[in-house]
Amino acid sequence: MGQADKAREKALEILRRTEDGVFAGVLLEQSRPEFNALDNAFILELVYGTLRNRALLDWVLNRLSERPVKKTDPWTRNILRLGVYQILFLDKVPAHAAVNTSTELAKRLGGKQGYVNGLLRNVQRSRDTFAYPDTGDPGERLSILTSHPEWLVRRWVKRFGEQRAETLLRANNGQAPLTARTNSLKTSREELTASLRATGAETRETAYSPLGIDILSSPGLPTLPAFREGLFMVQDEAAQLISLMLTPQPGDVVLDACAAPGGKAAHLAEMMLDEGVIIALDNDPKRIPMIRENMQRMGISIVSPLAGTAARYKEKTFNRILIDAPCSGLGVLRRHPDARWHKSENTLKRHQALQRRILENCSRLLRPGGALVYATCTTEPEENEDVISWFLATGGREFVIDDPRPFLPPQAARLVDENGFFRSFPGEPAMDGFFGARLVRKNA
């Protein structure tokens, strides 16, 4: 088996395991040591490309198959998706190579090589004559063409209109930038840019965060001296802006209530000049070493990682609290295209219940006059403004919404609406979709 075939087999293995709920990103990272840079890039393209276009691929296959793809076994189903993705989307892969390698994979896995070979050859012959769906139902049409679950498409069409919804859905199928946040304790953005470029990276400054750098290409993060020396941390631009909204000061006592892997805790420590106390709380004990390792690499001493549940933690009181709440993650689907296939509208209500408990509990730990930022990486009102409205109408009568614009760079102020809520969706598809609200507890 050639190396390209091994790469395809690894991509197939990852696609198969994502159907069981395993995150593609974790599996891709685990497979990296087995392959060189070129093969890893090919595997990434195959996995994420297939996941981003899964509904469209299934529609094409179902048009030409005697039985629905979902009714075949998982290995065969994913071999077919992988093959048709290469035929329709990868110009550098000859169609016959996609058909032949898929057939070979089917011989070893699934045992339906005749079915796979015949169906993919039919796709190859018909690929220039497909009449893609153009039904009068925008929910059905966009769900197929952009490969998003129909329930989410219908929500966005109702909320934003058909044209805007299509733009957002297609943006979700683009590649997310690799963004670094400068460690201001050690360097400046200008110095970091020069260091990255000197080691072969191509970069550009972010438009809204004063610390952000998009790394457009590089020899690989682990090989960069700037990474090993803790001069930056990978963090999306929107997440960087959320931390700025909290405005911690040197000497403050701060709670980062849902902290792993520690990106925001590190940013807060940098803003505090590494003076004060930050409790980095996370409910998964296995993720605590990750926070500790990141702080060590960044040269930060004031962050104390702690395993605990934000909905029940009561050990201290704080000047500042950041709640980056567990959520549906619908604002980061372009980074995790497999996630769209494991969510439903029930996901929103389930997360909302937990978000309410966390906000209610953590608010009691905030000292009078202190500030709390509630944030999510989701797009839906149930997890965002509805949680804030519920809180203010029930146990949060001592709190008021505080306008975060004075604490953000001028160019980012326009991402705050008339209610004082920060949103990087749908206004900025170049960033992840984040929501943020800054609350202040009134003085007694």
Nearest of 256, 330, 257 to residue 300 by alpha carbon: 256
Query: What distance in Å separates the CA atoms of residue 429 and residue 419, rounded to the nearest whole number?
Result: 21
Residue 327 annotated in active site? no
Helix, strand, coil percent values for the chain (each to nearest 5): 50, 15, 35
| 3-class DSSP state of 139 | helix
Give, in order, the Cα–Cα distances in Å from 75 to each of 93, 101, 106.
22, 14, 8
Give, in order, the Cα–Cα distances in Å from 337 to each of 196, 265, 366.
29, 26, 37
Query: What distance in Å separates the CA atoms of residue 241 and residue 210, rounded to the nearest whole number?
Result: 9
Largest CA distance in the chain: 76
- Provide the residue type at 251 as one letter: G
Query: What distance in Å separates the CA atoms of residue 27 and residue 188, rounded to the nearest whole number?
Result: 34
Among positive and negative, which fits the CA dihedral 393, 396, 400, 404? negative
Cβ contacts of 18 within 8 Å, gap of 6 or more: 24, 27, 51, 338, 341
Give, in order, the Cα–Cα distances in Å from 93 to each of 62, 101, 323, 339, 360.
23, 11, 46, 27, 54
Contact 105, 8 (CB under 8 A): yes
Q: Which of 258, 327, 362, 377 is catalytic?
A: 377
Nearest of 390, 392, 413 to residue 401 by alpha carbon: 392
Cross-strand pairs, 436: 375, 422
Structure tokens at 360: 């209610």
- Provide the residue type at 400 as one letter: V
Structure tokens at 1: 């088996």
Known catalytic residues are 377
